[in-house]
Structure formats: C-alpha cells, structure tokens
Structure 1
Amino acid sequence: MELDMALRVDESPTLTDTSTPQEIAKHKRWERSNRLSIMFMKSYVIKGIRGFIPESHKANEFIQAIEEQFFSSVKALASIVMKKLSSKTFENFRIVRKLIMEMRDMSAQLKSLEVDIFESFFVHFILNSLPFEDTPFKISYNTHKY
C-alpha cells in the first residue's frame, strides 16, 4: 500500500506539462501516501495535544511538530514537579515518612524526565520541609560526619 512512502521518500518536484507518466504516477502515489499518513497520525494524537500542533501538509513536518510539542511538554512537566517538590511542607502530612516517600517519588519522576537532583540537595529539601519540632533531628543530621 506504500503508506510510509511519504515518510521515506522526498516529495517529487512539481509536475509540469513535460512530466513523464512515471513521474506523474510516482507523484500521485506520494501524495496519497502523504495524505493517508497525516490522517492516520492525526487519528492517534490526543485531541488535547492536536490543537497545539501547527497544521502541516506533509507527514514529515507533522512528525517534527509533534516532537517539538512533546519536548516542550516534558520541560513543562519537569518544571511542575520541581515546583511541587520545592514547596512541599509537613503541614499537609500526618506522618514524616509519608512526606519523605512522596518527595522521593517526585525525585524519581524528575530523574525519568532527565532532570538530575544531587542527593545532598534532595536531603536538604526534605530537612527544610520538616516541622519546627524536628529541629534536634536537623541539627543531628547537619553535625553528623560522613
């Protein structure tokens, strides 16, 4: 069916009056492949994302637009997780262990998004989120030799 022809082969030059029947047939096959490829890709892209992707008339351009949109979405997601991590406080939790586990989960999310958090910074995030009553624990940790 040559559905991927538009992805594998560059578009042929514009047809002219002197184009051969083979060139015309190849161009028609490419146009059909391009049209079907775009249609299939659009049917699999979530509607919420589709609205942010610029209109494209070529399958390769459509794929590049999706890649650009995905890249910016990953950066936005990393920013949201970082903001949540840095604003976590003990007030929202009953148990310190639960707070630490949620912060570790956020750290793992950031690592999956290729955002590295140094372990020492992460520990300080946790310590700074603990309530005033845990000051002796903070002092003990900070004075502990490695």
Structure 2
Amino acid sequence: MELDLALRVDEPLTLTDISTPQEIAKHERWEQSNHLSLMLMKSHIIKGIKGSISECHKATEFIQAVEEQFVSSDKALASILMKKLLSKTFDNSRSVREHIMKMRDMSAQLKSIEVDISESFSVHFILNSLPSE
C-alpha cells in the first residue's frame, strides 16, 4: 500500500496537460499516501495537541508542526521541573529515601529532555532540600 510514500518521497511536480501516464500514476499514489498518512496521524494524536496544530495538507508538514509543538512543550516542562527541583524541601510526609528518589526522578526527567545537569549539581540540590539534622 506504500502508506509511507508521502513521508519518504518528495511531492511530485504538479500535473500539466502534457503529463505522462506514469507521472499521473505517481502523483495519484503520492496523493493517496499523503491523505492516508494525514488521516492516520490525526486520528491517533491527543486532542490537546491536535488543537494547537495549524491545518496542514501534507504529512511532512504535519509531522513538523507536531515536532515544533513538542519543542515548546519541552521548554515549559524543563522550566517546571527546574523550579520544582530548586524549591523542593523535605517535609516528613514520606521517608528520606522516597524524597531522594523523587528528586532523582526529576533530575532524570530533565536529562531526558536534554537539559544538562551534572551529577554533582543533582546531589547538591538533593542535599540542600534535606533538613540540617
């Protein structure tokens, strides 16, 4: 079925009166692949993301728009995680071990979205979040 044809191959030139049957067939296959790819992607994307993406008529444009949306989401997530990491303090609601694991998890999440925090800074943040006693 070549569903991914529109993702692998650039859009063929616009058809003209002198287009050959091969060019017409190639263009029709690409158009069908593009249409099916767009429908498939749009049907499997979360509504919250779908609403923030402008209308696209090509599968590659849609992928690029989703990618741009996630870049801004990653920046917001990084900001939130940094604020939590810097302001979190131990409150005796759980064990020290659980608190440390939660802090390590936030640090790992930052690393997963390519915010470079060295291991020594992570340890420093964790130790500063604990009470002096």
Query: TM-score, structure 2 length as denominator?
Result: 0.84
Give 1:23-102 correspondences, 5 Å limit.
23-91=23-91, 93=93, 95-102=95-102
Runs of 4+ aligned structure 1 residues displaced above 6 Å come to none
Worse-matched range after superposition: 5-14 or 29-38: 5-14
What's the TM-score once normalised by structure 1's chain length?
A: 0.77
Q: Which has the higher helix share?
A: 1
Change (3 A) 1:119 1:24: closer
More deviation, 71-80/119-128: 119-128
Percent of residue pairs bearing the same amino acid type:
76
> 1:123: which partner in 2?
123
**Larger relative contact order (C-alpha < 8 A, sep ≥ 6)?**
2
Unaligned runs of 5+ residues in structure 1 are 138-146
| Structure 1 Cα separation of the partners of residues 92 and 77 of structure 2 | 22
Give aligned pairs, total.
133
Q: Any stretches of 5+ residues in structure 2 without a counterpart?
A: none
Q: Which residue pairs with 1:14 in the alignment?
A: 14
- Are the equivalent residues in 2 in contact too, given 1:93–1:99 (CA < 8 A)? no
The CA RMSD measured in Å over matched residues stands at 2.1
Question: Cα 1:22–1:97, aligned 2, differ >3 Å: closer, same or farther?
Answer: closer
After superposition, what is the alpha-carbon deviation per residue over 1:55-92, rounded to whole angstroms, capped at 9, x for unaligned? 11111111111222222222222221111111102346
- The aligned amino acid for 1:106 is M
Distance 2:94 2:33 in 1: 59
Alignment match, 1:140: none
Residue matched to 1:5: 5
Deviation at 1:41, TM superposition (A): 1.0
- Rounded to whole Å, the distance in 2 between the matches of 1:61 and 1:116 is 30
